[in-house]
Amino acid sequence: MTDHPVISAPKIGVLIVNLGTPDAADAPAVRRYLAEFLSDRRVVEIPALVWQPILRGIILRTRPRHSAHAYRQVWREDGSPLAAITRAQASALADAFGSGVIVDHAMRYGRPAIAERLEALKAAGCDRILIAPLYPQYCAATTATANDAAFAALAGMRWQPAIRTLPPYFDDPAYIAALKASIEQGLTALDFAPDAIVASFHGMPQRTLDLGDPYHCQCRKTARLLGEALGRELIVAFQSRFGRAKWLEPATDATLAALPAKGVKRVAIVAPGFSADCLETLEELAIRGRESFMAAGGTHFAYLPCLNDDVAGMKMLRSILFRELEGWLTPA
């Protein structure tokens, strides 16, 4: 009889995935990160022959220094906020589904890489893996590219695990309830009552909406449901414009700057589309957003944090992940 490779007892893997972040707050690390991120054809949909010279010749020569400065404003002792919070989310979920389920995390760009963590889950005996891109609203530039990277890794495997992917959860009652609880807690802790709440979502080129990406509608629906749950309408805006094309409107920075003239002097801002605080929330909203609003005549400004690894957010993640594992988890 020939020697047979050892096959471990089957397990289930859950791989939570977020966007990725530089591994240091300096220009070389940001350049490496942006080179990978902005070369993704799901993110910048310009033919490579046209885009790569612009990226290599202009953007990667100028943007890393500027972005590294921004990252330094929010960098923590344990690294980039996005990396630290995603790690904390995975460890909070570690025992959530029993000893037969291994929870791990990966980043679409940079490390830990999706391919590397899928290999590790396989090596640990996972023959079924739930890929969970933590984007409540589906977008080709986020959800689809994370799934693409997972499937590209599977393409090289002789013995592929069975795969499920987490659907968008923009209108899931558990997600809306978690946001409501977190925002109400944040509002209670303020020493002022905001005249308005702004819900800021990451922007996208307008063209992607015209081409059928559901992201815009899913953001709007989240904001409507959250407004209904909170009992007050939210002002929706889109942040982080990149490049010269037309992006979804209204823009968050312009919205904040226009509010004081409309009588909104006290504002709270939330970012329901981000499952973890990151550069885009902590620097762009909490620092620069505050500056724009106050410079325009605002008197009170509060940025309310994302769900992160707080109790309400983790309860929600456990419940939506558990639902996606249905039929895979044997009854206890």
Ligand X SMILES: C=CC1=C(C)c2cc3[nH]c(cc4nc(cc5[nH]c(cc1n2)c(C)c5CCC(=O)O)C(CCC(=O)O)=C4C)c(C)c3C=C
Rounded least distance, CB 105 to ligand X, Å: 14
211 binds Fe ion (CB under 5 A): no
Q: Is 116 annotated as a binding residue?
A: no
Rounded least distance, CB 276 to ligand X, Å: 7
Phi/psi at 263 (nearest 5 deg)?
95, 0
Rounded least distance, CB 166 to Fe ion, Å: 19
Encoded one letter per residue, x for contact with Fe ion by CB under 5 A and - for no contact, window 212-231 reads ----xx--------------
Closest C-alpha among 283, 269, 20 to residue 135: 20
Closest C-alpha among 332, 319, 285 to residue 305: 285
Can you tell me whether residue 102 is helix, strand or coil? Answer: strand
Give the binding site for ligand X (CB under 6 A). 19, 21, 34, 43-44, 63, 67, 80, 82, 135, 139, 141-142, 202, 204-205, 240, 242, 273-274, 278-280
Binding partner of 273, given ligand X, Fe ion, none, CB within 5-8 angstroms per partner class: ligand X
Phi/psi at 226 (nearest 5 deg)?
-65, -40
Rounded least distance, CB 120 to ligand X, Å: 23
Q: Residue 129: how many CB atoms within 10 A of its CB?
A: 26
- Residue 122 or 216 having the CB closest to Fe ion: 216
Binding partner of 313, given ligand X, Fe ion, none, CB within 5-8 angstroms per partner class: none
Closest C-alpha among 165, 169, 138 to residue 154: 165
122 binds Fe ion (CB under 5 A): no
Q: Is 280 annotated as a binding residue?
A: yes
Q: Which among 116-124, 208-216, 287-295, 296-304 is the span making contact with Fe ion, rule CB under 5 A?
A: 208-216
- Residue 64 or 161 having the CB closest to ligand X: 64
* Cβ neighbours for 319, distance < 8 A, ≥ 6 positions apart: 174
Contact 132, 118 (CB under 8 A): no
| Spatial separation of the C-alpha atoms in residues 26 and 8, rounded to whole Å | 42
